Amino acid sequence: MLKVGYKILFYGAVVLLAAIVLMPFLWMLISSLKTQVDIVAWPPKFVFSPTFQNYYKVFGEQDFIRYFINSTVVAAFAVGVSLLLGLPAAYSIARFSQRRLALVILLARLMPGISFLMPWYIIFSRLGLMDTYVALVLSHVLITLPIVVWIMSSYFETIPIELEESAMVDGASRNYIFLRIILPLSGPGIITATTLAFIFSWNNFLFSQVLSMERTRTLPIAVFNFLSYADIDWGGVMAASVAIMAPALVLTMIFQRYVVSGLTMGAVKG
Amino acid sequence: MRTILKFGLTVALGLSLSGGALAQTKEIRVLLANHPYGDILKAEIPQFEKQSGIKVNVESLQESQLTTKLTTEFATNSSSVDVFMTRPLQDGKLFAKNKWYEPLAGYDFSDYPANTVSIVTYDGKPNIVPLVTEWQVLFYRKDLLAAAGIKVPTNFDELAAAAEKLNTGGVAGFASRGKGAAAVTQLSSYIYNFGGQYLDKGVAVFDSKEAVDGFRYYGKIVGSYGPRGVTSMSWENILPLFQAGRVAMWTDASVFYGQLTDPAKTSLGADKIGIANFPAGPKTNSPFYATSWGIAIASQSKKKDLAKTFLEWATSKELAAKAMGANITMARTSVWEDPAVVAKVDPGLVETRAFVAKNGYPTDRPFMSAVGEARDLIGEIVIESINTKGESPQIGDMAKDRVAKVNTLLRNTGEYGQ
């Protein structure tokens, strides 16, 4: 009897917490299917005739497909560059205890992003890189690289050094060990780092705001297309937000298992 | 590793070359705001391109993004913007001080009200062409006032009495912005009507008895009869409340009238929505009549001739008349005098505009470069006043303290006493 009571309590708490966390998301989803009049209605309407006009506005009237492509290209390249540079860096930091180097990389992340904007703007505009993917990718690397380096360096530390030593005895070089032994063992860590870095880049507002223009506009900036002077199209904002969240959500759902184990693996080293 | 780096650099260079397409000779870059008039321009630009042979690269941004972007581009002296929409009261002083506007010699300003031109004139030369004006009005629910047997308030005493009577459980008797800095513009007309001001000849004066009376009155009616949580509300919050039928009266800018009477946005029915002149205060009735948007040429532009051609077209009488049909309240005088144009505009807007065109005050905020900081400082007094329903004994002292701080801001930018 007592056991049943506990179970009820447990699942009750689960439902309550889930409701609190999911409420804003559900509200957004519901609002994205409402007309402007229904959105502001009081008391809130839970029974209404759903409309897809907001989604039509997002994908038909506004060019969200293009913003989608922009965001994907920028995030993918930023993560790619970060992995290319960050994985060897993280390995080196882990194996040779280059703590100071790790700190410098973190420092870039700790500095307020806005302090980079002016110098970047000057450099990119002089180089004629404004409104190109290059400027955006390079700026987003500042966000993604520290994530990759920090997650991966603590992950590499959990891999027993004996593995490398025995490979060395067999005559393997550092590069060979890194590429053939360490990387294949680091799948969960790399997936964690990639997912997190991708989401951070996907959601970045500040850098894209100044460095992108009409052609390279990314999704978080495009949401503001629905905010006009003294007029907010709530339905459009909600539909756009749903559309932006969806890929990040799917990505997280698929890789969630690895994300959690990857994070804890780095955190608790035996 | 080296090959990887080399590859990366080559890719980067390749992308940059393909991306940074060389500008054609007859091409300009225009930044517009997300604004109904910006939408009209955007729709008409293909026409302009055909007529003039000038290619227009247009980008439209939400207003705060627009300011951030323009500031970054101009401050780094590497902007490629030729023409841009701008908010004369919010950005004007700072931009003009930094000489980011190209003075508009030769533009014909005779069709614009003198007070709109005075606000965009620096060193004797107009810098911005005024596009859109707005003024403070009283929105009210005709049905609720009629049911309570109340006439539309014409002065502050009647306003307070009506708000008290209309304030019932589900419906707030009155609403106006309560969120600190955002409230400053809507508080301005209250202070003016009590005989006060924010600034007088470059000196902060909102600690005068008249201004403090304004703060107190605003705190009293908003605090006593406003919706719950009003101190965190700007128009974004009050507008949907009014649209949902939960507010009986609301003072804010005329720009919202179009949304209130649009059945796609407000389900109450246009016949229930009233618009009236802002109520008179003890001293005067001089609500703000502000130039909310203008358009200007960038001083850093390398194609000023083309930019000027575009500006002349974008501010033409024909486009202004077209915008009026969409209830955009344009600055040009002639469109308001043309019966054919006025016939298409909502009568409520025509009547209230006729009043402010004669009696209005040309700014709705402290008109200075550090306007954002000043609004934050004044906003603190607004919140204190609303929280105490205008009773706080500290309001006078707070006003003195904030006046000193705003004067410091003015001194820092060399605008004090100007």
**How large is the ipTM?**
0.84
**Model confidence over B243-291: pLDDT tens digits?**
999 999 999 999 999 999 989 889 899 999 999 999 999 999 999 999 9
Task: Search chain B and give the residue with CA nearest A120.
Answer: B76
Residue B17: inside a domain, yes or no?
no
Contacts of residue B4 in chain A, CB cutoff 8 Å?
Answer: 84
pLDDT over 80 at A66, yes or no? yes
Residue B213: inside a domain, yes or no?
yes
Query: Which has the minimum average pLDDT: A204-213, A256-265, B9-18, B154-163?
Result: B9-18
Which residues numbered 56-115 in A keep a CB inside 8 Å of some CB on B?
81, 84, 88
Q: How far apart are CA B10 and CA A58, in angstroms?
A: 36
Residues B408 and B269 occupy one common structural domain: yes
Which residues numbered 138-167 in A keep a CB inside 8 Å of some CB on B?
138
Contacts of residue B58 in chain A, CB cutoff 8 Å?
Answer: 214
Q: State the sign of the Cα–Cα–Cα–Cα dihedral A134, A136, A141, A147.
A: negative
Instruction: For residue A127, give how far its alpha carbon lies from the nearest alpha carbon of chain B (Å).
Output: 8
Here the tokens at position B2 are 């080296």
Q: Check CB contact under 8 Å for A125 and B259.
A: no
Contact B192, B361 (CB under 8 A): yes
Q: How far apart are CA B65 and CA B59, in angstroms?
A: 12
**Model confidence over B76-98: pLDDT tens digits?**
998 999 999 999 999 999 999 99
Residues B61 and B186 occupy one common structural domain: no
**Model confidence over B353-400: pLDDT tens digits?**
999 988 999 999 999 999 999 999 999 999 999 999 999 999 999 999
Task: Classify B200 as helix, strand or coil.
Answer: strand
pLDDT band at A262 (very low <50, low <70, confident <90, very high): low
Q: Check CB contact under 8 Å for B80 and A130.
A: yes
Among B1, B2, B15, the strongest candidate for a mutation testing the A interface, having the largest count of A CBs within 10 A, is B15
**Model confidence over A71-120: pLDDT tens digits?**
999 999 999 999 999 999 999 999 888 888 888 888 888 888 888 888 99
Q: Check CB contact under 8 Å for B76 and A125.
A: yes
Residues B141 and B102 occupy one common structural domain: no
In whole numbers, what is the pLDDT of chain B averaged over residues?
92
- The amino acid present at B393, given as its one-letter code, is P
Q: Which residue among B12, B16, B255 sits closest to A230, beta carbon to beta carbon?
A: B255
Residue B10: inside a domain, yes or no?
no
pLDDT at B22: 45
Residue B417: inside a domain, yes or no?
no
Q: Check CB contact under 8 Å for A209 and B241.
A: no
Residue among B79, B71, B47, B30 nearest B295 (CA):
B30
CATH number of the domain within which B58 lies: 3.40.190.10
pLDDT band at A59 (very low <50, low <70, confident <90, very high): very high
What does the angle CA B319 – CA B321 – CA B325 come to, to the nearest 5 degrees? Answer: 110
Q: Check CB contact under 8 Å for B36 and A228.
A: yes
Q: Check CB contact under 8 Å for A224 and B4.
A: no
Residue among A81, A87, A100, A253 nearest A155 (CA):
A87
Which domains can be identified in chain A, with CATH numbers? Answer: 62-267 (1.10.3720.10)
Instruction: For residue B259, give how far its alpha carbon lies from the nearest alpha carbon of chain A (Å).
Output: 8
Q: Check CB contact under 8 Å for A224 and B80.
A: no
pLDDT over 90 at B171, yes or no? yes
From B321, B343, B359, the end of a domain falls on B359
Instruction: For residue A270, give how far its alpha carbon lies from the nearest alpha carbon of chain B (Å).
Output: 32
Among A134, A229, A232, the strongest candidate for a mutation testing the B interface, having the largest count of B CBs within 10 A, is A229
Residue B19: inside a domain, yes or no?
no
Residue B345: inside a domain, yes or no?
yes
From B328, B343, B359, the end of a domain falls on B359
Q: State the sign of the Cα–Cα–Cα–Cα dihedral B297, B298, B299, B301.
A: negative
Q: Check CB contact under 8 Å for A118 and B33.
A: no
Residue among B322, B292, B122 nearest A229 (CA):
B292
Residues B207 and B260 occupy one common structural domain: yes
Q: How many CB atoms neighbour CB A35 within 10 A?
A: 19
Residues B244 and B376 occupy one common structural domain: yes
CB contact A8 to B (< 8 Å)? no
- The amino acid present at B208, given as its one-letter code, is S
Contact B83, B91 (CB under 8 A): no
Tell me whether the omega of the peptide bond preceding residue B126 falls within 30 degrees of 0, making it cis: no
Residues B331 and B391 occupy one common structural domain: no
**Which residue range forms the structural domain that includes residue B243?**
134-288+365-412
CB contact A172 to B (< 8 Å)? no
Residues B345 and B375 occupy one common structural domain: no
Q: Check CB contact under 8 Å for A42 and B264.
A: no
**Model confidence over A109-132: pLDDT tens digits?**
888 888 888 899 999 999 989 889
Tell me whether the omega of the peptide bond preceding residue A43 falls within 30 degrees of 0, making it cis: yes
- The amino acid present at B351, given as its one-letter code, is E
CB contact A35 to B (< 8 Å)? yes
Contact B414, B93 (CB under 8 A): no
Considering the entire predicted model, what is its pTM? 0.89
Among B76, B80, B327, the strongest candidate for a mutation testing the A interface, having the largest count of A CBs within 10 A, is B76
Residues B387 and B239 occupy one common structural domain: yes
Among B28, B34, B74, the strongest candidate for a mutation testing the A interface, having the largest count of A CBs within 10 A, is B34
For chain B, the domain total comes to: 2
Task: Search chain B and give the residue with CA nearest A214.
Answer: B59
In order, the DSSP letters of B242-281 are HHTT-BSEEEEEGGGHHHHH-TTT--S-GGGEEEEEPPB-
Phi-psi region of B187 (alpha: psi -120 to 50; beta: other; left: phi over 0): alpha
Residues B191 and B326 occupy one common structural domain: no
Contact pairs from chain A to chain B, CB under 8 Å = 99
Residues B274 and B336 occupy one common structural domain: no
- Mark out the alpha helices in B360-394 (DSSP H runs): 371-387
pLDDT at A112: 87
The CA distances from residue B54 to A121, A216, B48, B230, B308, in Å, are: 27, 23, 8, 49, 12
Task: Classify B172 as helix, strand or coil.
Answer: strand
The values of phi and psi at residue B33, to 5°, are: -95, 155
- Helix A64-96 to helix A234-267 angle, to the nearest 10 degrees? 20
Q: Check CB contact under 8 Å for A224 and B240.
A: no
Q: Which residue among B20, B63, B292 sits closest to A132, beta carbon to beta carbon?
A: B20
Q: Which residue among B19, B34, B244 sits closest to A228, beta carbon to beta carbon?
A: B34
- Mark out the alpha helices in A170-232 (DSSP H runs): 174-177, 183-185, 187-203, 206-211, 219-222
Contact A216, A132 (CB under 8 A): yes
Q: Check CB contact under 8 Å for A41 and B61.
A: no
pLDDT band at A1 (very low <50, low <70, confident <90, very high): low
Among A31, A40, A63, the strongest candidate for a mutation testing the B interface, having the largest count of B CBs within 10 A, is A40
In whole numbers, what is the pLDDT of chain A averaged over residues?
89
Residue B418: inside a domain, yes or no?
no
Q: How many CB atoms neighbour CB B12 within 10 A?
A: 18
Query: Which DSSP helix (H) or strand (E) runs through B290?
Result: strand B289-297
Contacts of residue B74 in chain A, CB cutoff 8 Å?
Answer: none
- The amino acid present at B268, given as its one-letter code, is L
pLDDT band at A68 (very low <50, low <70, confident <90, very high): very high
Task: Search chain A and give the residue with CA nearest B293.
Answer: A229
Q: Check CB contact under 8 Å for A42 and B246.
A: yes
> What is the average pLDDT across A222-243?
92
Residues B195 and B90 occupy one common structural domain: no
From B316, B338, B359, the end of a domain falls on B359
Residue B1: inside a domain, yes or no?
no
Residues B162 and B272 occupy one common structural domain: yes
Q: Check CB contact under 8 Å for A41 and B59.
A: no
Q: How far apart are CA A64 and CA A58, in angstroms?
A: 6
CB contact A49 to B (< 8 Å)? no
Q: Which residues, listed in sequence order, are joined to residue B350 by a DSSP beta bridge? A: none
What are the counts of helices (DSSP H) followed by strands (DSSP E) for chain A? Answer: 14, 2
Give the distance between the most distant pair of CA atoms in chain A.
75
> What is the average pLDDT across B37-41?
95
**Model confidence over A11-23: pLDDT tens digits?**
999 999 999 999 9
Here the tokens at position A160 are 């027993």
Q: How far apart are CA B260 and CA B242, in angstroms?
A: 8
Task: Search chain A and give the residue with CA nearest B80.
Answer: A125
